[in-house]
Amino acid sequence: MGNRQSSVETDLGDLKVTRYAVADAIATITLDRPERLNAWTGRMHTEYRFLLSRAASDSTVRVIVVTGAGRGFCAGADAKALEGHVTRGGYDAGVGEDLARPGWGVRPEFDADFAYHFGIPKPMIAAINGPAAGVGLVLACYCDLRFAAEGAKLTTSHGRLGLPAEYGLSWLLPRLIGVTRAADLLLSSRVVLAEEAESMGLINRAISAVDLMETTYEYARRLATEIAPSSLAATKLQLYRDLHRDVAASVNDASTRLDQMMGGPDFAEGVAALSEHRRPHFDPYQA
């Protein structure tokens, strides 16, 4: 991506712990506390949701990549924040009431922390460049695809803190990797390397650290240029909504969507491109 990326001003003022850039129809959100392995804070939570909302609503953005600065993806909740929870005797998210709500309002079952990722009408790819622990692993798991640097360490981590599985991970992990493997990771809080995570199906691909971002962007560009944005949005919604219902409802919904979308411009362009042996040129999707 190189120097084609450009920083974007936000209504938050100067970003403190995240960065945002757009190039080739791909928005990149970078968690930016490298000195703390991008440990999660209330400020990061606030900025992340704001930037995700911005990327979701930008018709020129077709794919969203999430990664970390420096050596880590996200090492979980910041230790000082955890100490604050102990002092207060309970959980305090450390965020204001005006938190952005990307993905909310699409389906009631998506209207919760991190579950809102399922309501974002664009594919999201986690480029896990280093440790992903606790809430960092949660964030990666709620992305649609996960590429990780070889040797990157992943862990649920909550057990070692005397906590329950976080943010619906007990619902999501069994659906990603099966009950037996999910039980292993959730009950033990053990660390798995990217290579083992790939064999489990937890990540899509383990890649050498030097090639991680270019491989991620290559995949993202393929989605951005070869797949209709309307198809990406519809398919992502089908994927996560169908986790909550029976197969007949899925079949019937697909039939209805098929009939509707065959009357749209993306289908006409896709057929024309196929007939003319060229790449399709899809207009931005308007939700």
CA quadruple 173, 73, 95, 61: dihedral sign: negative
Q: Between 81 and 165, name the one with better pLDDT.
A: 165
pLDDT tens per residue, range 94-152: 667 789 999 999 999 999 999 999 999 999 999 999 999 999 999 999 999 999 999 99
More confidently predicted of 87 and 101? 101
Distances in Å between the Cα of 273 and the Cα atoms of 66, 112, 252, 259 are 31, 40, 28, 20
**Is the pLDDT at 49 greater than 60, yes or no?**
yes
Whether the CA torsion 141, 142, 148, 152 is positive or negative: it is negative
* Alpha carbons 150 and 129: distance in angstroms, whole number: 9
Mean pLDDT of 18-33: 97
Question: How far is 62 from 177, CA to CA, in rounded Å?
Answer: 27
What's the CA gap between 124 and 135, in Å, rounded?
17
More confident residue, 67 or 1: 67
Query: Cα(53)–Cα(60) distance, rounded to whole angstroms?
Result: 14
Token readout for 267 is: 């289908």
Task: Choose between 192 and 274: higher pLDDT.
Answer: 192
Tokens of 86: 């102990």
- The reported pLDDT for the residue numbered 208 is 98
pLDDT at 248 over 90: no
Q: What is the CA radius of gyration of the chain?
A: 19
Task: Give the rounded percent of residues in the chain with a pLDDT score beyond 70.
Answer: 88
Other Cβ atoms within 10 Å of 158 Cβ, number: 23
pLDDT at 7: 40
3-state secondary structure of 135: helix
Residue 223: name the closest of 149, 145, 147, 150 by CA.
145
Tokens of 28: 């990149």
Residue 168 DSSP class: T
pLDDT of residue 266: 87
- Torsion angles phi and psi, residue 153, rounded to 5: -95, 130
